[in-house]
Amino acid sequence: MKLLFDQNLSPKLVDRISDHFPESQHVRDAGLSEASDREVWDFALSNGFAIVSKDSDFVQLSLLAGAPPKVIRLQVGNCTTDRVEPVLRSGFEAIASFERNADASLLVLPQARRITSP
């Protein structure tokens, strides 16, 4: 699956997850840094990307318009790229299944829980 990372995610993710998602791109590298959500949506639709975002704007578009493009919402809040990358890696199977499901338009991936010692 080709992922298009929204402005609210680091462009570093493209390289960091290229082993799992080699054709991914960041909106900045697609010339969409200042684009509206609808322009990003249209670019993803025209170029076969799934949109990855932390905000709910694309969730709303997904609910209204359906797929394609598919939307992956990361429920990670304000955090570093070091916290986002494992969410995508651990969600690889869910993302692959999501891609195969023609009826699915939205996938929500929660932040991995930290295990702490007592």
Q: Where are the domains of the chain?
A: 2-110
The separation between CA 71 and the C-alpha centre of its own chain, rounded to angstroms, equals 6
Write the single-letter amino acid at 17: I
List the end-to-end C-alpha distance of the chain, in Å, as a whole number.
Answer: 40
pLDDT above 50 (res 83): yes
**What confidence score (pLDDT) does residue 52 get?**
97
What the block records as the tokens of 30 is 């697609």
Residue of 105 and 67 predicted with greater confidence: 105
What the block records as the tokens of 58 is 């694309």
**What confidence score (pLDDT) does residue 77 get?**
84
Report, as an integer, the average pLDDT of 31-51. 96
Q: pLDDT band at residue 79, thresholds of 50, 70 and 90? A: confident
pLDDT above 50 (res 115): no
The rounded distance, in Å, linking the Cα atoms of 54 and 109 is 10
CA torsion angle for 63, 77, 46, 30 (degrees, to 10)? 160
What the block records as the tokens of 110 is 């929660």
pLDDT above 70 (res 87): yes
pTM score > 0.85 for this model?
A: yes
Q: Is the peptide bond preceding residue 68 cis, with omega within 30 degrees of 0?
A: yes
The rounded distance, in Å, linking the Cα atoms of 33 and 35 is 6
pLDDT above 50 (res 73): yes
Mean pLDDT, the chain, as a whole number?
Answer: 92
